[in-house]
Amino acid sequence: MSHHPTIAVVGSGPIGSAYARLLLEGIPDARVVMFEAGPQLTGRPGESVRNIADPVEKARARELSQGPQAGEFRASLGIPSATVVEGMFTARQGTHLLDFGGEGSAHAPTFPAAAGATNVGGQGAHWTCAIPRPAFSEKVAFIADDEWEELIETAEGLLHAQSAAFADSAVGGGIRSLLEEEFAGELPDGYGPSTLPVAGDPQPDGTMRWAGADVVLGPLIEPGNPLAERFELRDLTLVRRVEHDGDVVTGVTVEDLRTHETSFVPADLVVVAADAFRSPQLLWASGIRPRALGHYLTEHPVVISTVALDAEKISRFATEEQLDEELARRATTAADPVAAVNRIPFSEPDHPFSLQVMYSETTPFPMEPGAPYSDNRWGYVNMGYGMRKFPRFEDAVTFDDAEPDYRGFPNMTITYELTEAELAEIQAATERLRRAGNALGVFVAEPRLMPNGSSLHYQGTLRMGDADDGTSVADPWSRVWGYENLVVGGNALIPTATAMNPTLMSVAIAVRGARKAVERLGAGAEASAVA
């Protein structure tokens, strides 16, 4: 190991950013090179596009998030417009479907909404910034509670967690009160209706500056900061292989997507933190193929609906004057229509689901003028229940060496099925959603189960475990079993059945992995210096 270790980080989302920062803070002589296949969307690397006030600029940033194949940007790289590639069909704004139906498309007939984001900051440039804490069986059993608590607190600091957002909304408070009445006595203490913890920084004018990977990178992207001098971010650079000599990783082979030149970058440690599909795909393409790689795929089945708030019900807790004040305040931040977010968190045994209730003055879909509740003065709530998917080996992304995808990697096939266990919880959660909606007002969009993959919370394909028994890819500190200096990160490591937004949990796991890597690399650098 060199006296000045080089660390290659694959992926620029919140997890890769956490590794970059903690490794540089922990190893004084280390250098981190971060590789991102997509472009930088904003002047500040990794910033949330929700902070872009200009709607045209925001739309442009989201288009670029579809990768170097998107729109005019795609043409500027010399890619023929007739080429059918990922990005031509977009899922949620800023993301692109994996199974887009063209040549080189992934195969995901049972997981049709699977999507990714290809840009600096990853999904962290587009996420809702929800960071609830995992609880009960969602937590990782082989991490002690006291350590887990400290890891979560550190992750909250990296993400700029706060609870001030939406707390001043009188209508949001009224929504909580109505939900508390409906579910009184059914939920454990501390797990009833509450505001949703989010990542961001409240501004003096009352707006929010939403967090992206930029807040995690922190000093690494501040000009003049000593840490920034040891950090390099290469966008539009695709990592083709993780190179290794036996069980020792030697570096990465990368392709510059501007010039299409390939080169080898030596590294003392490689951190693969792309996403739950492309990270295992890269390992497979590199000949790193643990039995569990790509298997145990989970997400959160999601049931959603929209409800028009009932004036008589909500006015028991909020006045017309307070509503007018909220409408006036939100008129100054029209780019972000969500005015308050409440939740009922996961708890066991009686509420193994996670409910989010987003208050807005508009619906997420156009309503016919003159239709009932089409101009509801008190606004609407868009509600969704997230449920568990229990890990099974059969639910997986697998790879075919004989069929290249549009980037030349072994193509993906996603196999996934909801079993009786999930269907029972989906039915129970749908009944709860109807109760919640009826307590608040009138449904203008009936509860419906979204297609598989809609949550964007993909987990398990790089799952961590406490034994190298073929059921996990990584050890308790995120190091790939059997490899000395290869670490993986992201939601894909989560080995449990969860119902909540996974980013906070994944950053906490990354904190643990980064600390262990600092121990190993730091000790190796010291030994090298002495020699």
Q: How far apart are CA 439 and CA 363, in angstroms?
A: 18
Which tokens go with 275?
Answer: 């996403």
Give the 3-state secondary structure of residue 32. strand
List, in sequence order, every residue forming a beta bridge with 325; answer none if it has no partner: none
Residues 6+ apart with CB under 8 A from 436: 179, 182, 183, 344, 355, 357, 383
- Minimal CA–CA distance to 86: which of 96, 78, 95? 96
Helices 14-26 & 145-159 angle (0-180, nearest 10): 100
| Cβ–Cβ under 8 Å, residues 116 and 277 | yes
List, in sequence order, every residue forming a beta bridge with 406; answer none if it has no partner: none
Q: How far apart are CA 465 and CA 478, in angstroms?
A: 9
Q: What is the pLDDT along the chain (531 residues), one digit of tens a residue?
A: 456 899 999 999 999 999 999 999 999 999 999 999 999 999 999 999 999 988 889 888 888 886 544 554 444 434 334 433 333 344 567 888 898 887 889 999 999 999 999 999 999 999 999 999 999 999 999 999 999 999 999 999 999 999 876 777 899 999 999 999 999 999 999 999 999 999 999 888 777 899 999 999 999 999 999 999 999 999 999 999 999 999 999 999 999 999 999 999 999 999 999 999 999 999 999 999 999 999 999 999 999 999 999 999 999 999 999 999 888 877 776 656 567 899 999 999 999 999 999 998 888 888 888 889 999 999 999 999 999 999 999 999 999 999 999 999 999 999 999 999 999 999 999 999 999 999 999 999 999 999 999 999 999 999 999 999 999 999 999 999 999 999 999 999 999 999 999 999 999 999 999 999 999 997 765 545 434
Q: How many residues comprise the chain?
A: 531
Amino acid identity at 78: G
Our separate counts of H helices and E strands in the chain read 11, 21
CA angle 205, 208, 211 (to 5 degrees): 145
Q: How far apart are CA 344 and CA 180, in angstroms?
A: 10
Q: Is 146 exposed, middle or buried (0-12, 13-18, 19+ CB in 10 A)?
A: exposed
| Cβ–Cβ under 8 Å, residues 489 and 474 | no
Tell me what pLDDT residue 49 has.
94
Phi–psi pair at 272, nearest 5 degrees: -100, 110
Phi–psi pair at 263, nearest 5 degrees: -155, 160
Q: How far apart are CA 177 and CA 188, in angstroms?
A: 16
Which tokens go with 194?
Answer: 């509450």
Tell me what pLDDT residue 203 has.
83
Which H or E element spans position 327? helix 320-331
| Cβ–Cβ under 8 Å, residues 461 and 490 | no
DSSP string, 350-385: TB-SEEEEEEESS-SS---TTSTTTT-TT-EEEEEE
Q: How far apart are CA 21 and CA 159, in angstroms?
A: 12
- Minimal CA–CA distance to 138: which of 494, 513, 423? 494
Which tokens go with 410?
Answer: 């072994």
DSSP string, 68-112: TTSHHHHHHTT--TT---TTSS-SSTT-EES--SSTT--B-TTST
Phi–psi pair at 254, nearest 5 degrees: -125, 155
- Minimal CA–CA distance to 352: which of 391, 387, 302? 387
Residues 6+ apart with CB under 8 A from 391: 296, 298, 460, 463, 495, 496, 497
Residues 6+ apart with CB under 8 A from 61: 41, 42, 49, 52, 94, 125
CA angle 382, 96, 158 (to 5 degrees): 70
Amino acid identity at 427: Q
Q: Which domains does the chain have, with CATH numbers?
A: 161-210+302-387+417-451 (3.30.410)
CA angle 83, 86, 88 (to 5 degrees): 70
- Minimal CA–CA distance to 458: which of 488, 491, 489? 491
> Which residues are annotated as catalytic?
457
Q: How far apart are CA 238 and CA 260, in angstroms?
A: 10
- Minimal CA–CA distance to 447: which of 461, 459, 431? 431
Per-residue pLDDT tens for 180-229?
A: 999 999 999 999 999 999 999 988 877 789 999 999 999 999 999 999 99
Tell me what pLDDT residue 346 has.
97
Q: What is the pTM assigned to this prediction?
A: 0.94
Which tokens go with 405?
Answer: 């995808």
Amino acid identity at 99: D
Q: How far apart are CA 262 and CA 69, in angstroms?
A: 19
| Cβ–Cβ under 8 Å, residues 487 and 522 | no
Phi–psi pair at 321, nearest 5 degrees: -65, -40
Q: How are the residues of the chain apportioned to helix, strand and coil, as percentages rounded to the nearest 5?
A: 30, 25, 45
Which H or E element spans position 9? strand 6-10
